Amino acid sequence: MWSETLDPNGRYMEPDGFPLTVLAISFVFLALSVLAVGLRSYIRLSRHMFGIDDAFLAAGAVLYMVVIGLSSYGHFVGLGRKEVDLNQWQWENAMKYYIIWILVYVVALGFIKSSVCLTILRIATTKKPLRMCVWVLLGITWCSFCITFIGTLLYCQPVRAVWTPMLILSGEGYCASTETFIIIAHTATVSTILTDLALVVVPGVLLWETQMKRQAKFQAWALLSFASVASIITMLRIPYINRFREQQDLQFWVSHIVLCSNVETGIGCIASSIPSLRHFTQRSQGSNTHEYSDKRSGPIGFFSVGNGPTTLRKNEGSKDLGISLSTVRGRSDEQWQRITDGDSDHSTKPMNANQIYAVHTYTVEHDDKLSQRALRD
């Protein structure tokens, strides 16, 4: 219990030591999460592709900000400290904001996990078995949420008896056994680990059947499964959950759970946004490569004689050099081949949903002066 020798009028405590560490790490992940989700939302909106999975992630990020705010305030009033350092008001309010933090945290995590599941559903449009697996994972996520949320609210009656022991001593309230609360906490932990690991396997199965190089498959899978790192953080909080059996220095031990959970949620926000951020980076690099630069590339002239326009295609060799009225400029390390009569640069083969297609854009510069000079010659 709290210390009777401390000033009962004491309220806020300046964070230091472990509480300060929790605050610093939490705000770092909050900043990275807001930046990542903000960029993802901007990219999806600018491309008119903002979907329900993006909405779920944005809602989860907003709730994550509330989660960090609650945990921060809790560490100003007593979380992360031993009972000998707390008076009655600090002891009660530290536990109060921990319980409120739990309720908001499970909702935020539910939204973020749902966003990941809905993203995979959008990709696995033709894979019915995989879609069924994702729906099962989505159901497990929300079942876990209901168990944790409702179980926390029903653990003590009234709810404030959790942080007000005097109600229990006076008979005005009662709480279930400590093992009940531990089971509720472990249910959320185990379901989080299982869904994290499953969300690593499903993208791997999707990528296995695509027409990609092995290295490209591995890179894409690593990006999609980055959220699995969160399951490692989740495992770290298991020993601190078991500390509830001792019912001593709970404010100190639950602070470790808060830290692990804040990091876990932040990783979920960042990992869910990585594919879109990777596209943003590639698009920025791609726009730079379209700008002509004498330092990075040199002009390559391809000349041909004919009555109609000539179509060029990249291949192993360059052929049919002659006189032309147009100049195609490309990178100096690229080689091109003229398409012969009867060939086409458009394939009539139907698109395969299991393949990934690349679209290349090339710029053709027409030089009027060169055309006039060629005509005079």
Q: Are 111 and 57 in contact (CB under 8 A)?
A: yes
The secondary structure of residue 347, as a DSSP letter, is -
Check whether 104 has a pLDDT greater than 70. yes
Angstrom distance (rounded) from CA 47 to CA 41: 10
Residue-wise pLDDT for 296-345, tens only, equals: 334 433 333 334 444 444 444 433 333 333 444 444 444 545 544 444 44
Check whether 58 has a pLDDT greater than 90. yes
Q: Are 202 and 122 in contact (CB under 8 A)?
A: no
C-alpha 28: how far from chain center:
15
| Residue with the larger pLDDT of the pair 150 and 204 | 150
| Residue with the larger pLDDT of the pair 148 and 203 | 148
Check whether 171 has a pLDDT greater than 50. yes
Identify which of 30-39, 42-51, 273-282, 355-364 has the greatest average pLDDT.
30-39
User: Could you tell me if residue 51 is left (phi over 0), alpha (psi between -120 and 50 degrees) or otherwise beta?
Assistant: beta
- Looking at residue 376, what is its pLDDT? 53
Q: Where are the alpha helices (DSSP H) in 155-226?
A: 165-169, 178-208, 214-224
- Looking at residue 119, what is its pLDDT? 81
pLDDT band per the 50, 70, 90 thresholds, residue 30: very high
Angstrom distance (rounded) from CA 312 to CA 363: 12
- Which residues are CB-neighbours of 139 under 8 A, at least 6 positions away? none
- Looking at residue 79, what is its pLDDT? 93
- Looking at residue 59, what is its pLDDT? 95
**Average pLDDT over the chain, rounded to an integer:** 75
Check whether 221 has a pLDDT greater than 90. no
CATH fold of 17-274: Rhopdopsin 7-helix transmembrane proteins (1.20.1070)
Angstrom distance (rounded) from CA 194 to CA 183: 16
Share of the chain above pLDDT 90, in %: 26
Residue-wise pLDDT for 59-68, tens only, equals: 999 999 999 9
Residue-wise pLDDT for 224-241, tens only, equals: 556 566 677 778 888 888
Angstrom distance (rounded) from CA 176 to CA 210: 52
| Residue with the larger pLDDT of the pair 93 and 3 | 93
- Looking at residue 311, what is its pLDDT? 42
pLDDT band per the 50, 70, 90 thresholds, residue 5: confident
Q: Where are the alpha helices (DSSP H) in 209-338?
A: 214-224, 229-236, 238-241, 250-289
Across the strands, what pairs with 155?
Answer: none
What does the domain layout of the chain look like in residue ranges?
A: 17-274
Helix orientation angle between 88-123 and 52-77, rounded to the nearest 10 degrees: 160
Mean pLDDT confidence for 198-211:
67
